[in-house]
Structure 1
């Protein structure tokens, strides 16, 4: 077995896929794998991709989580070289900076559909 993709639900699969294509430099739609309700994107090295599925009943999660609201089921961790520059670029592409930031070396953002994702820099071991 090999993990092919993580799938994110959204009110509009194409719109969310377009955001991640702008964010993840060099990624592309897998030929024959897109449509109005489904899009699959791959990194340039052909590794594990991301898929997006239109879900009309989608409700965005709340960050940080609260027991009475939609919980985050997963989030993406994206390594960057320059945290401040890439945070600004993500916001310019349509992300929102989350109010709650639990760590100095990580930035929690929300994509256009409200999914939390983290940008971080590799810390020396």
Structure 2
């Protein structure tokens, strides 16, 4: 059997470089490669700890709505689960970096936030559950 693996998650945005900068600040990642309209980021030093994230400029990008409120809303296609040691502290840090706390919070031990392009992501602690 040939080897296959997911190497990178790619997020669309109006401005790939702006969104990449947010995730570099949030996750402590570094920029590994970039072109006009595209940026690849990953854990520092080429570490295998963590998933690489890439960002692509999409001129017709439409922000997702989470949770979906009515038929026809642009639904989220995926979200990132980010494990943290200090839920409240990391939530405050994410907001300071440019995230927005979502109005709807389905669990007490998970925080749903929206990145500057509107992609939902969850901060959770080991006692929390993933898969919102």
Q: State the TM bucket, normalised to the shorter chain.
A: over 0.9
- Which runs of no fewer than 5 residues in structure 1 stay unpaired? none
| 1:3 to partner: Cα distance | 1.1
- Confirm or deny that 1:28 pairs with 2:30: yes
Q: TM-score, normalization: structure 1?
A: 0.92
| 1:29 to partner: Cα distance | 1.0
- Which runs of no fewer than 5 residues in structure 2 stay unpaired? none
Q: Residue 75 of structure 1: which of 66, 72, 79 is its match?
A: 79
Q: Could you tell which deviates more after superposition, 43-52 or 71-80?
A: 43-52
Q: TM-score, normalization: structure 2?
A: 0.88
Aligned residues: 121
Q: Residue 96 of structure 2: which of 92, 100, 112 is its match?
A: 92
| 1:78 to partner: Cα distance | 0.3
Mapping for residues 1-125 of structure 1, pairs under 5 Å = 1-25=4-28, 27-30=29-32, 33-44=33-44, 45-46=47-48, 47-66=50-69, 67-123=71-127
Q: Which consecutive segments of 4 or more residues in structure 1 shift more than 3 A?
A: none
- Write the distance in 2 (CA, Å) between the matches of 1:84 and 1:122: 14
| 1:40 to partner: Cα distance | 0.5
Q: Could you tell which deviates more after superposition, 112-121 or 47-56?
A: 47-56
| 1:123 to partner: Cα distance | 1.3
- Write the distance in 1 (CA, Å) between the matches of 2:126 and 2:60: 37
> Partner of 1:34: helix, strand, or coil?
strand
- Over aligned residue pairs, what C-alpha RMSD do you find? 1.2
